[in-house]
Amino acid sequence: MSQQQFENFTASTLYCEKCRATTPVREKLLLVLPDREIFDYLCTECGSSVGQREVTAGEKMMAEAIAGRNRRNIPLQSLR
């Protein structure tokens, strides 16, 4: 496995102190800065903030480039 597979994680469940359980979370864009974006993870049960994630401009450009490259490699038959 290459390290690029582990560059951009997004959480689907996190521990919520208020609910005292691991719950599904939604990611909400909190702040856009010139060099990074900050996302907040919110508990889907109670709405509490349970964590944050920062994405730097370089990481975002790399993820978009990889996604674009992967889309170009899809055979046309699978798009129909």
What are the 10-residue block averages of pLDDT along the chain, 80 residues in total?
63 95 96 93 96 83 70 57
pTM of the model: 0.66
- Residue 59 has phi, psi (to 5 degrees) of -65, -40
Q: Would you state the pLDDT for residue 25?
A: 97
Q: Would you state the pLDDT for residue 4?
A: 57
Q: Would you state the pLDDT for residue 56?
A: 87
Q: Would you state the pLDDT for residue 68?
A: 75
> Which region, left, alpha or beta, applies to residue 17 given φ > 0 means left and ψ of -120 to 50 means alpha?
alpha
**Residue pointed to by tokens 């996302």:** 39
CA 70 to chain centre: 18
Q: Which helix (H) or strand (E) holds 72?
A: helix 57-72
**Residue pointed to by tokens 């993870």:** 41
